Amino acid sequence: MATQRGGFSTRIGFILAAAGSAVGLGNIWKFPFEVGEGGGAAFVVMYLAFCFILCFPVMVAEISIGRKTQRNPVGAFKSLGFKRWSVIGYLGLASGVLILSFYNVVAAWAFGYFIDILSGTFSIGGEAFGQFTADWIKVGGYGLIFMVGTAFVVSRGIAGGIERAAKILMPTLFIMIIGLIIYAVTLPNAMEGLKFYLVPEFDEITGSVVYSALGQAFFSLSLGMGALITYGSYVAKTDNIVSSAASITLVDVGVAVLAGFMIFPFVFSQGIEPNGGPGLIFATLPGVFQSLGGILGVIIGAFFFLLLSFAAFTSTISLLEVPTAYMVDEHNIDRRIAAWLIALLIFLIGIPSMLSYGAVEALGNFVTMPGSDTPMPFLDFVGVIANDTFLPLGGFMIAVFTAYVWRTENFNLEIAEGDESIKGSWLQMYVDFALKYVCPVLLGAIFLVTVADKFF
């Protein structure tokens, strides 16, 4: 069966694909503006704690469930014999569809910046981002291209070009960010930016900061919706799941932290407010590239947004893979038909998000969340629902399921398949302990407090 479904050819292939899923707009676009809105370093501290303490164990659980069952997130729970728990899978499908619907729009911005900077049509200045996103015909066109590319790769199955592309592109992005950090810290006011990023002021921590740091941790690691159940289902039995999960977490967190080192010196050196929301990198970086001067600025700027588009691309692929694998496994639909139809549907669902940044006023001021005084655009609203609410909820249920329903013994057997030596190691013991106690209690508590705080 495994061969029919296809699979990753090598362990490094899986790690790269999963890291490719994790590393994306979440690290380079979302993380900096969330830090900016969350008051800086205090947010970073919480995000890091959540990634390692809560998310890492959930990641091991997801990959194990996937590998054990060789199924999509809905089928996985059924195949373990717990049909009712496939509600986690359905919630995951909903999260995936919603996330991809707005993610593709932001990917279209990144891709559009690449094209516009390269072709010299990009105008830099305070209004440039707003003008760009308001041009819905253009953004729609780029979005369509992006979604078609995603559907194309997913329709061809798992092992194909992704592994190879990720091997070259991820390191390049990494090197480029390092280069930009070196440039960033030489700029005037860079230290102010680093201070904002690194010196926590714990009185900045409010309920909503905790909530968004948690959502960010899940989103950035592609957790809580079964993306890693799905990828795990293509993993060889000989792979060591715990160490693979550790590598994926470290790479993902590493890229996010580096992105912060790059962006905050830039933001402060240009005198931009760090709490500007989703436009942060799009408003800041073009000015930086321009300051590099002439053709050099154009080349570096265009190349940066090209790589950002690639990072987004390996994530959109994993997002589309989840509902596609579901249709293929559970409804016997041809992979190509499933991938193209779902992509089209998600593109359509994404239209209101696309229009919510300048094209349609009412979508731009869509809702005012309780406890806030400014209305948020539709795109951000979908994010609050899917990333910040559904993903941690999914993670909570996955932890409870693994520890108490599937049971730790069985989970440990699956983990030990790849590497007996993991048995009794402290990492394994921590994962078991966390899934039993830490994740259910903390995730449950944060969830209840947030609900109480937001709605009562």
Taking the least distance from each CB to ligand PHE, the nearer of 269 and 387 is: 387
Residue with tokens 């321009």: 290
Instruction: Name the minimum Å distance from CB 360 to ligand PHE.
Output: 26
Nearest approach, Cβ of residue 219 and ligand PHE (Å):
5
CB nearer ligand PHE, residue 345 or residue 449: 345
CB of residue 154 vs ligand PHE: minimum separation in angstroms?
13
Between residues 97 and 227, which has the closer beta carbon with respect to ligand PHE? 227
The rounded Cα 257 to chain-centroid distance in angstroms is 14
Cβ nearer to ligand PHE, comparing 211 with 219: 219
* The dihedral sign for the CA sequence 305, 251, 317, 168: positive
- Nearest-approach distance from CB 23 to ligand PHE, in angstroms: 6
- The residue number with the shortest CB distance to ligand PHE is 26
CB 221 within 8 A of CB 31: no
| Least Å from the CB of residue 424 to ligand PHE | 32
CB of 71 to ligand PHE, least distance (A): 17
Query: Residue 228 or 446: which CB sits closer to ligand PHE?
Result: 228
CB of 20 to ligand PHE, least distance (A): 9
Q: Which residues bind ligand PHE (CB under 6 A)?
A: 21-22, 24-27, 99, 219-220, 222, 225, 227, 315, 318-319
Please measure the distance between the N-terminal and C-terminal CA atoms of the chain and give it in whole angstroms: 50
Q: State which residue, 69 or 315, has the beta carbon closest to ligand PHE.
A: 315
Q: Return d(Cα 109, Cα 88) in angstroms, integer.
A: 31
Nearer to ligand PHE, 99 or 302 (CB): 99
